[in-house]
Amino acid sequence: MDYIRLISVPLVAGAVVYVLWLLGRSRPREADAMPSGVGGGRPAGSGLTQMSAAIAVLAMACTLVLAVMMFRDPPAMVARANTTVDLGPMRFILAFRADALSTLVVLAAAGIAFLVTLYSVRAMAEHPRAPVFFAWVLWTVAAVLTAALANNYLLLVVAWEVATVGLYLLVSMGHPRGRAGAMKTFAILGFADVCLLLGVVMLVHTQGVMNSLSLIDKVGGNDTATPVLAVAYVLMTVAALAKAGAMPLHTWVPAASEHSPTPVFALLPAALDKLLGIYLLARITFEVFAVSAPLATVLMVIGAATILLAVMMAMIQHNLKRLLAFHAVSQVGYMVLGMGLAAYVLAVGRASPDGITAAQAAVATVAFCGGLFHMLNNALYKGCLFLMAGSVERVTGTMDLDRLGGMARSLPVTFVCGVVAAMAISGVPPLNGFVSKWLVYNGALAVGSGLGMVCLVVAVFGSALTLASFIKVLHSVFLGTRGSAVPEGDARQESGWMAVGMVVLAVACVGLGVVAGPAVGRLILPAAEAAGIPVAGIEAAGWGGLALRGGAGLWEPSTATVLILLGIVVGGLVYLYSRALRVRVVDNFVAGEDSTSDELWHVSGTHFYETIRRLPVLRTLFSDASAEAFDPYRLVGRYGWTLVEQLRAWHTGLLAVYASWIIIGLVVLVTVLALG
Amino acid sequence: MTLQMVPYMLTFLLLVAGLYAIVAKRNLVKVIVGILILDYAANLLLVLTGYRTPPAGQAPVAPILTGGAAQAQELAATAVDPIPQALVLTSIVIGLSVAALVVALAVRLYEKYGTFDTELMRNLKG
């Protein structure tokens, strides 16, 4: 019953909100005569909007409480007789299961959803269809919770699909120009859903007719050395990676980001979709299948490539949301890399005659925990960053970095939260992003292959580039002189509702980093065990998160941390010293021109990395032509169009031609039947 | 080829003639005539399959039982197969209704396009 209660809370609340909106809309109102959005006043349905927002926040709070209860005390698996569906040759049970991995995802999803809903109370207040937004958010959250708790492929696929539809509907609620992006999102994720369905069908088919469709039937028994199972695994992985936004199916993330409402993006592509995708990847890679070493290597390469290429795209963006979207893609790389490393080590261990050794199990655990912890951390800091962007957008009305600047005074809370989240995503100790990346690095170091070292270098380099691009963001948005889109004056422009979400997320970033050891021990290690990782011999200890029982193994991050902190202190000293120097301050003199305006002296950060863009090799990579070559959606569009043109040429519209085709087909059919 | 095959060959020729008219003729009326010829060829073929060539010098036996149940075995051994004939009767009626429908469509097409030339009716062009 616990499962049904948890899922039905957002489901029912969403239905209530939607019905309220339908009833409220049908009533004629005088204010409707005025086009909404004119004059900046609140739109006509503001009472309705407030009511639906209140319902949504309450429902999310209830969901969060239930999720916490479920996490603390996971209920038993439901498999009652009346949930059995009998379809003659196939019988299956609509069962739920709450192990440590599922409940971790549920907890994170409910927490983020609650904060984003709080934030949306203010952010969506002026949207003409705000109640619909809340209804769809509630339903999507219900679908995500169902997918995370399902112990049945049918439930999983259906919930997965509902989440896709919810994302599409929510993205298309933004600017009308965002329709193309929404369509792209729907097309790519729809393709991913088909892949998932095909993979499930192939897997179930190989398992026999009387299968219960249970997610976990024989643990790790599906060796991907069998070609059919390998194809099934690849198909399901494609679905997981597309949902999480890893390359090469990542292109929907930036396309959807630009015109969708900011809370939508903070909620779904940045947080919940990542949770779902990585959850499925962890489930199938370690529990359902026994992945072979070549496939695991492919996962590692995908992870490393995603980290590097996406972050390089992020560096050169001029639109804040698009930049953050590329970072959302880039961060998936660390999770996929962690999972791939763990799968590779386990595959090597299984292939060797004496099985998985303790050292290999330890490396796999470290890498997997890194990936999984990064999933959790990413949801926190990426959510915080998108809320920061939304807060900026509310004040200025634009996301163009060239027109922003000097907003630290008017948005101090946003600024501080943005700095914390930016440092967390860049992996600066002692924040949470550092700990999870550290674990992934350790896994890559210990995996003991050349490719592991390459992945390590790429991951570290990607992390450095992340920091570089966030320096650009922080400078262009918050520092420097006032941008052209920023309103005059230093008055505080924070909104309380929006600040709460950001502050909580930023505090969580700091908290999970500072108490990383207990956090990993309580949250991540049980989840790793539930996913089928041999965690024996590993315990959460010290600040670094994990330690091998019995000493040797992990590098302690303390030295690196001390060095970094030392660097920061030295930097501060240099800064203080330069402040102490006497500097002659004079007015600018530009040949008698008026030089007092901020606009004249506005230096945006967007050109920090123009040099990189113009480097010989990278120039071709960054060009539009190569962007198209990297985008499967556009490739399919172009070659699909060629196919359509060919088919059009065949359609002459002549009766005689169609009749000839029919007769030829008939002749072929008769010949085949006669000869066969 | 034996002499018995000749009717089959002629039927086949009729069928090909119908197909030729459907595929090669631009005039809708000729196409309809082709459809009807095809229909008749099919009917003829069906009847032919049920035909039993009598021994030389004798007439074929009609499948009519006149001498009571005692002659049933003998009749079954010598008479022409009645089932294709009965079915072809039905098929002829169906062919008639098909012809009526096709002609009605052709009349509507003529009203719409003002011509029977199928090359000028190209709304299906992609």
pLDDT digits (tens, 9 = 90+) for A550-582: 444 455 667 777 888 888 899 999 888 888 777
Q: What tokens were used for A341?
A: 């490393």
The 10s digit of each residue's pLDDT in A593-639 is 666 665 666 677 677 777 777 777 777 777 765 666 677 788 888 88
Q: What is the pLDDT of residue B103?
A: 95
Q: Assess A660–B contact: CB distance below 8 Å, yes or no.
A: yes
Give the chain A residue whose CA is nearest to the CA of B122.
A653
8 Å CB contact of A656 and B19: no
Question: Is there a domain that residue A495 lies in?
Answer: no
Task: Provide the percentage of residues in chain A whose pLDDT is more than 90.
Answer: 12
8 Å CB contact of A654 and B119: yes
> Confidence band (pLDDT; 50, 70, 90) for A39?
very low
In DSSP notation, A186-229 reads HHHHHHHHHHHHHHHHHHHHHH-TT---BS-SSTT-EETTSHHH
Q: Assess A645–B contact: CB distance below 8 Å, yes or no.
A: no
A658 CB neighbours in chain B (<8 A) are: 124
Q: Assess A72–B contact: CB distance below 8 Å, yes or no.
A: no
B126 CB neighbours in chain A (<8 A) are: 647-651, 653
Q: Given a cut of 80, is residue A161 above it in pLDDT? A: yes
Q: What is the pLDDT of residue A91?
A: 63
B125 CB neighbours in chain A (<8 A) are: 651-653
Sign for the pseudo-dihedral over CA of A315, A319, A322, A327: positive
Q: What is the pLDDT of residue A78?
A: 58
Q: Which of A654, A663, A670 to mutate to test the interface with B (most CBs of B within 10 A)?
A: A654
Task: Provide the percentage of residues in chain A whose pLDDT is more than 70.
Answer: 84
Q: How far is the CA of A498 from the CAs of A10, A47, A48, A268, A493, in angstroms?
A: 21, 20, 20, 17, 11
Rounded to the nearest integer, the mean pLDDT of chain B is 87
Q: What tokens were used for A471?
A: 């320096």
Residues 6+ apart with CB under 8 A from A292: A223, A224, A225, A230, A347
Q: Which of A641, A650, A652, A655 to mutate to test the interface with B (most CBs of B within 10 A)?
A: A655
Alpha-carbon gap: A666 to the closest alpha carbon of chain B (Å): 12
In the A/B pair of chains, how many CB contacts fall below 8 A?
A: 33
- Going by the DSSP 8-state scheme, the letter that residue A540 receives in this structure is -
**pTM value?**
0.78
Q: Given a cut of 90, is residue B40 above it in pLDDT? A: yes
> Confidence band (pLDDT; 50, 70, 90) for A129?
confident
Range of the domain at A665: 631-675
Average pLDDT over residues A516-545: 73
Q: Given a cut of 90, is residue A672 above it in pLDDT? A: yes
For residues A433 and A448, which has the higher predicted lDDT (pLDDT)? A433
A654 CB neighbours in chain B (<8 A) are: 118-119, 122
- Please count the structural domains in chain A: 1
A655 CB neighbours in chain B (<8 A) are: 31, 118, 121
The 10s digit of each residue's pLDDT in A278-318 is 999 988 888 888 888 888 999 999 999 999 888 888 888 88
Alpha-carbon gap: A632 to the closest alpha carbon of chain B (Å): 27
Q: Given a cut of 90, is residue A526 above it in pLDDT? A: no
Q: What is the pLDDT of residue B80?
A: 85
Rounded to the nearest integer, the mean pLDDT of chain A is 81
Domains of chain B: 5-53+71-120 (1.10.287.3510)
Q: What tokens were used for A346?
A: 């386990």
Question: Is there a domain that residue A664 lies in?
Answer: yes
Average pLDDT over residues A649-671: 88
Give the chain B residue whose CA is nearest to the CA of A645.
B126
Q: Which residues does B contribute to its contact with A (CB < 8 Å)?
A: 19, 22-26, 31, 118-119, 121-126
8 Å CB contact of A649 and B123: no
Half-sphere CA count of A82, side-chain side, radius 13 A = 0
Q: Which of A245, A438, A192 is nearest to A338 (CA)?
A: A438
Asked if residue A10 has a cis previous peptide bond (ω within 30° of 0), the answer is no
**Helical pair A179-207 and A153-171, crossing angle rounded to 10 deg:** 180
Average pLDDT over residues B58-75: 81
Q: What is the pLDDT of residue A43?
A: 47
For residues B70 and A554, which has the higher predicted lDDT (pLDDT)? B70
> Confidence band (pLDDT; 50, 70, 90) for A35?
very low
B23 CB neighbours in chain A (<8 A) are: 656, 659-660, 663
Average pLDDT over residues A56-68: 88
8 Å CB contact of B126 and A660: no
Q: What is the pLDDT of residue B29?
A: 93
